[in-house]
Structure 1
Amino acid sequence: MTSENFYFSIVIPTWNNQPYLELCINSIRKNSHFKNQIIIFVNEGKDGTADWLRTQPDIDFLHSSKNEGICVAMNSCRALIKSEYMVYMNDDMYVCPNWDLELYTEIQKIGHDNFMLSATLIEPYATTNPSVVSIVQHFGDSLETFKEKELLATYKSVVKKDWYGASWPPSVVSTRVWDVVGGYSIEFSPGMYSDPDFSMKLWKYGIRIFKGIGNSRVYHFQSKSTKRLKKNKGSDTFLIKWGITARVFYAYYLRMGRDFDPETTSETPIPSMIQLRSKLKRAFKVLLS
């Protein structure tokens, strides 16, 4: 790709998921306000993903013959980034019109780069995970059932306020902040719980703006790659590393899912019983490790 001035560099790890990746890339091309840099990390690529990407002159990519996972993929792609802000996106996402303009507008309002922002997901199914913040609307759960025209006609129909707790993709940080905290931690490879770990690193650095943008919307087919993955025990790694569970971090530090209040940016006090429970749970995991 020739050198240009991009506002966002969009990094997408992919693992033998070419049809969804193509849809994701086409949505970025069609529905973005800005001309953004697209960077793909191809894990394995036995489905021909790398061969297809070689025919796409507007895309930068790296290719590993094995599945390196998200952490290695994101860290490796840092060397290709040409913009001030990087977006982490999944390959089974479809961006809605002006998703990037809404993020850009918020960044201009903030006026500095000590933040983590996220678009708001539209997903076909509700989940039992209290950390998931999304609009539940069913526009298909596969390429065959995807209702693109219906999505584009109605994606604004549900009012969603800005919310606390940006942590999961599609997420945005500045490249400066990424470099300061050292990117993704490879002890979480192939990637489960790498998101809360990265957010905790940002928190330790001093960032307090973890904000989801209600008007920046991205459709998510829901884990088309991670369902095939042999998962690491990221919850245990997070607990041993930080002394609390990821759920406590999301609920009491990031206050994930609550409506964003610009007057309040500090964490909610953690009840003493929950603190004690986290310490005991961590001690137990350490003994077993």
Structure 2
Amino acid sequence: MFSRSGKNVAAGTYEMIVVDNQSEDGTRAWLKEQPDMKCVFNEENRGFPAACNQGAAIAEAGNDILLLNNDTIVCKNSIYNMQRALTEEKTGAVGACSNSVGARQRIDESFQTIEEYIQYAEQNNAYDPFRHQKRLQLIGFALLIKRNLWDDIGGLDEVYGLGNFEDDDICLNILKRGYDFFASTK
């Protein structure tokens, strides 16, 4: 969820591309009214990997690729902190943490409201390289990948259909190329 006012992500610092996989809940109409988004409207649900590849294909050259699930809440400084972590030469990708994800990117916090979650993020979402831990795998709900690696790998493998394990696959390809990836501990 991006703030329309630029509160959570500074206006002009990102390119937002949305690939709609045949929504039927009014999302398409809403997207068509958004002047600051590039949109692709699929006539069938092509799945997460294909949609990510479609979006990356129309992204401006040189922009790193942020894969972001449609139910992810992006809090203040989140993307900025991920971008800072990605500047390390041998870092190929950076993942976010959440209380609603498995594996080692999960934080053990619970929230009753979105406001509580946002308040927690504001208190804890400060850049600190000592809170980044090297990972062997990242979950693709919020995954920032260096553009040169994305291009070299060829994006997500669409053999995974609607989605599952395409993030494992791209992480393996990043490791094979000699790069590391990190996720925050908070």
TM over 0.5, shorter chain = yes
SS of the residue aligned with 1:68? Answer: coil
Contact 2:133-2:185 within 8 A present in 1 as well: yes
Q: TM-score, with normalisation over the residues of structure 2?
A: 0.83
Structure-2 separation of matches of 1:174 and 1:122 = 25
Match of 1:78 in 2: 56
Mark the CA change 1:158 to 1:99 in structure 2 (over 3 Å): closer, same or farther. closer
Residues 1:182 and 2:154 are matched in the alignment:
yes
Mark the CA change 1:42 to 1:194 in structure 2 (over 3 Å): closer, same or farther. same
Structure-1 separation of matches of 2:17 and 2:68 = 10
Letter in 1 for 2:65: M
Mark the CA change 1:114 to 1:151 in structure 2 (over 3 Å): closer, same or farther. closer
Letter in 1 for 2:154: G
| Structure 1, gaps ≥5 residues long | 1-23, 141-145, 216-289
Contact 2:91-2:181 within 8 A present in 1 as well: no
Mark the CA change 1:27 to 1:214 in structure 2 (over 3 Å): closer, same or farther. farther
Structure-2 separation of matches of 1:28 and 1:80 = 24
SS of the residue aligned with 1:191? Answer: coil
Mark the CA change 1:28 to 1:99 in structure 2 (over 3 Å): closer, same or farther. farther
Contact 2:86-2:93 within 8 A present in 1 as well: no
Residues 1:171 and 2:138 are matched in the alignment:
no
Report how many aligned residue pairs link the two structures. 178
Residues 1:210 and 2:181 are matched in the alignment:
yes
Structure-1 separation of matches of 2:90 and 2:9 = 22
Sequence identity (%): 21
Residue 80 of structure 1, CA deviation? 1.7
Structure-2 separation of matches of 1:94 and 1:41 = 17
SS of the residue aligned with 1:36? Answer: coil
Mark the CA change 1:92 to 1:101 in structure 2 (over 3 Å): closer, same or farther. same
RMSD: 2.5
- Deviating 4+ runs (over 4 angstroms): 157-160
Structure-2 separation of matches of 1:117 and 1:151 = 21
Mark the CA change 1:31 to 1:118 in structure 2 (over 3 Å): closer, same or farther. same
Letter in 2 for 1:154: Y
| Structure 2, gaps ≥5 residues long | none
